[in-house]
Amino acid sequence: MKEKLNITPPTWIDQDDVPELTDEWFEHADLYNGDKLVRRGRPKAAATKQSVTIRYDAEVVEYFRATGPGWQSRINTALKEWINAHSSG
């Protein structure tokens, strides 16, 4: 009986069959630093914010929304300023 050979044929026979490496391909490629995968996007902040549900008067929300994108961050800044102005220290 003939012995079965466990040889896998090569995927590419001709190097012309290799797909072109475009800018789009590199944009979606994983980046490694040694064996460690480098994560894409913004790095995690040292001090993260906490998600809560809170209810404000309609006039407060309308005022800050009318100031455009980033209105929630401006509410956060206004609350921080109030805390600094009213803290005893």
DSSP output for 60-77: HHHHHHTT-TTHHHHHHH
Is residue 47 very low, low, confident or very high in pLDDT (cuts 50, 70, 90)? Answer: confident
Is residue 4 scored above 90 in pLDDT?
no
Tell me the C-alpha to C-alpha distance, in Å, between residue 53 and each of 18, 44, 56.
53, 22, 10
Mean pLDDT of 41-65: 91
Question: Where on the phi/psi map is residue 64: left (φ > 0), alpha (ψ -120 to 50), or beta?
Answer: alpha
Query: 72: closest CA among 89, 53, 86?
Result: 53
Is residue 22 scored above 70 in pLDDT?
yes
Is residue 33 scored above 80 in pLDDT?
yes
Is residue 6 very low, low, confident or very high in pLDDT (cuts 50, 70, 90)? Answer: confident
For residue 63, the model assigns a pLDDT of: 97
